[in-house]
A and B are shown apart, each in its own frame.
Chain A
């Protein structure tokens, strides 16, 4: 087990540098005129252009320039310096301010997904073809069909502005209650998927041989479902949730924008819009680490859930 984790950690280092290289190359290739992008439609002064060009080595172009800038970036990164954004803020500071709120949001979304999605999925799986099962299937179909970019503003307008049940935006240092609505909106998609996945998995396992054996042994239903079926049914769900955790952290661009939460997605959106290369690469690098760790945790959890799986 320890050897397995060590090996995975070493692979993570490679994966990390590989992805930063690719992201850096993409940003480099797609870069137009970041100084003008920063200024929007206003003219840029010569002094400002010269200053920023020198500071960010923007005059180094072509293959040479790319490797020069990339290695410069990596050198600083290894020293723990993520660099400066085009507006002169430390990217480390930006990330330090953005992560806590994004993690909170992702955790709320995750909790909602697990609590509601998995519970309802188990219930629907046990009572297949019941009214509850059919109505959840229909509801999740609707949720899956509506993209977040539509769902978020509608939820904000109805629940926030019209009926005033929730604050319409969360702002910079929100309390739990303010984050609840964005969390539910963000989690709704994974909730629907988790629900359907759990339902199918439970329904299938209920027909398995070991369940029939357990039942003929005279075990009570609660124990059959609670211990045997649930444990076996959760393996695909845990895989899904692990990947989803990474998605929830990085994929909150729309939700964070609509509810004005200055998290990671919010900053990523701005960085892409202003062609702020260093900031995009900084955010994406950290996201890569989150994904890698989430995947590792999922792999380790397998062994806990399924005794047949052993890592060497």
Chain B
């Protein structure tokens, strides 16, 4: 009797719940798309929503809705004009940027050359502490804006011609400048963003005003969401949805659970632990597309035992890349045998040649004749899911080179970098790189040039530096690529790092959206996505 009563008490709420769920899942036909619906896209909490202070994917995704870039990239990663009418230069020093007419900010202000000049000056001025300030370093006068008390407030290289035209003078010729303009640091800012010239209004970031296809709906709800709605006065291609809710998640696993139950429309990165079940969970809503990320192992070239390129080549040869991408990454990443991502113009397959061909016997002979160390350590950051492949790589080195090999986890990447910068013996260490704009220079410059911002391994080769500089100064993009390719050949001989894998976008979406495409920067294409009716 008692049991029965208990059962009744449990059954009642269950029945009510089921009833509610049944109501919830009712409706929803098939077929057409709904231009008046909003879609929900997962992001992490952005660090900032000021164009010149945003260098992470989540912020960049929101800004891509609010702003329209000067330059976009087509499927072949070639640059084409979006908000710009033309970007031209005869000598690769003085660039003339002509803006398209008809663009207005969401508060009604027409977009003029001043808006670009003001925004770029703000970004380059060191005391503003902007995260992307180095994007302006090629512009003449950048040096005068650096230091604690800069000599100037504005870049001497920016000059207004008329309301829709301005010129940019670079300090050295750079053929890739037009390509670079697609990055979010080069968005314009309205007059309303500044409380006085050169001072950003404190509230601007909470509801950024842009000139893009969407405008803010309310303010940035920290840790919760950023909502945007279609801006009807946008003169370019109109989006096919009425709005987007960027919903903020701290853990991808939570977002994945929401996509599975249609509570969220797009997850941009499927969590690693769900990679093996995702194809069955989502069916054809599990998708991949090319991405620009590049994973590699770097050598602390300041350490004596790794200073011989033959040692580095032998280690590269002893790694079976295919085995790791298949067994551990379930083919969500592909083996890398070049220093440049395949999505960039100028990429050639297998530029490292023999060093990329798995050959244990040859590797061992080379390693022993070059006097490689009998102990190898591979350091990685323990918070990024790298343990599995590092351990697998160690196992391969142990078996193929007959050395002792251990993986060493540092809590965070910053802890790893602190040790590397102090030149402590960390052994090999993992790194990753994603491009900011599709150019070979964006891989070669920061990673391998002597002064590169991410060259933490102390690699320095004057010949390489010279070739990259010549490439940047070349008269045309073709000539530039030829120089960059020569530079890559220098790298292949020196092997300062071992290319391991190229990443892809591995994403999924709910049953409520269609035409979901991710670009090379892991951003959802907001002009293409559609809501299912």
Contact = CB atoms under 8 A, between A and B. Distances in A.
B55 interface: yes
Contact of B224 (A44, A45, A172): A172
Given A52-B129, A260-B249, A164 B21 contact: yes
A153 B253 CA distance: 9
Interface in A250-295: 257-260, 262, 266-267, 269-270, 273, 275
A166 B255 CA distance: 15
A87 B46 CA distance: 9
A141 B199 CA distance: 61
B257 A48 contact: no
Q: Interface size bucket, B side?
A: 35 or more
B301 to A, nearest CB: 19
A169 B254 contact: yes
A51 B129 contact: yes
Interface stretch (B26-34, B347-355, B395-403, B413-421): B413-421
A257 B414 contact: no
B131 A45 contact: yes
B470 to A, nearest CB: 24
Contacts of B431: 41
B255 A260 contact: yes
A37 interface: yes
B224 to A, nearest CB: 3
A34 B131 CA distance: 15
A89 B257 contact: no
Interface in B204-257: 221-225, 247-251, 253-255, 257
Given A165-B18, A168-B257, A97 B56 contact: no
A270 B248 CA distance: 13
A37 B446 CA distance: 19
Interface stretch (B101-109, B258-266, B324-332): B258-266
Interface residues of A, number: 52
Contact of A88 (B21, B48, B223): B48
A180 to B, nearest CB: 10
A33 B47 CA distance: 17
A46 interface: yes
B56 A32 contact: no
Interface in B113-149: 126-134, 146, 148
B131 A48 contact: yes
B136 to A, nearest CB: 10
B130 A165 contact: no
A204 interface: no
A47 B126 contact: yes
Given A257-B251, A257-B254, A262-B223, A46 B48 contact: no
Nearest to A40: B413
Contacts of B263: 167-169
A169 B261 CA distance: 10
Contacts of A38: 47
A257 B17 CA distance: 25
B131 A39 contact: yes
Given A36-B414, A38-B47, A164-B21, A45 B254 contact: no
Contacts of B45: 270
Interface string B1-44: 00000000000001001100100010000000000000000000
Contacts of A33: 414-415, 417-418
Contacts of A262: 222-224, 248, 250
Contact of B223 (A40, A44, A97, A257): A97
Given A50-B148, A262-B248, 17 more contacts: A36-B413, A36-B417, A42-B56, A44-B131, A45-B131, A48-B130, A50-B129, A52-B129, A97-B222, A156-B254, A157-B257, A164-B21, A169-B258, A257-B250, A262-B222, A270-B45, A273-B412
Interface of A: 32-34, 36-48, 50-52, 55, 87-89, 93-94, 97-98, 153, 156-157, 160-161, 164-169, 171-173, 257-260, 262, 266-267, 269-270, 273, 275
Interface of B: 14, 17-18, 21, 25, 45, 47-48, 55-56, 126-134, 146, 148, 221-225, 247-251, 253-255, 257-258, 260-261, 263, 383, 412-415, 417-418, 431-432, 446, 453-454
